[in-house]
Amino acid sequence: MNIYIGNLNYRVREEDLKQVMEEYGVVDSVKIIIDRETGKSKGFAFVEMPNDAEGKKAIEELNEAEYEGRQMVVKEARPKM
């Protein structure tokens, strides 16, 4: 399952986010999206979890939860158009 996580604090690192997500199950990858011009986080990320049930539980429990001072948006990522 590919999960979108938005409204992240710009200081959050991929390792930090991986630790949070691993509380819900196995994490294949974490990718924080970086602005090419500034090299800084754009405030959102994608997390890949192989087990859909674990991914759904993470979405249910983390959506609108506060992390590093910001209320996260966590939902299933939509395929690129």
**Can you give the pTM of this predicted structure?**
0.94
- 81 pLDDT higher than 80: no
Task: Judge whether 34 lies within some domain.
Answer: yes
- pLDDT tens digits along 66-76: 999 999 999 99
Task: Judge whether 54 lies within some domain.
Answer: yes
Q: Tell me how many domains the chain contains.
A: 1
pLDDT band at residue 9 under the 50/70/90 scheme:
very high
Give the per-residue pLDDT at 79. 82
What is the spatial distance between Cα 4 and Cα 38, in angstroms, rounded to a whole number?
22
**Nearest to 6, CA basis, from 80, 81, 78:** 78
- pLDDT tens digits along 30-78: 999 999 999 999 999 999 999 999 999 999 999 999 999 999 999 999 8
Structural domain that includes position 49 = 2-76
CATH number for the domain spanning 26: value is 3.30.70.330
Q: CA 37 → CA 5, 9, 14, 66, distances in Å? A: 22, 19, 19, 28
Give the per-residue pLDDT at 80. 75
Task: Judge whether 81 lies within some domain.
Answer: no
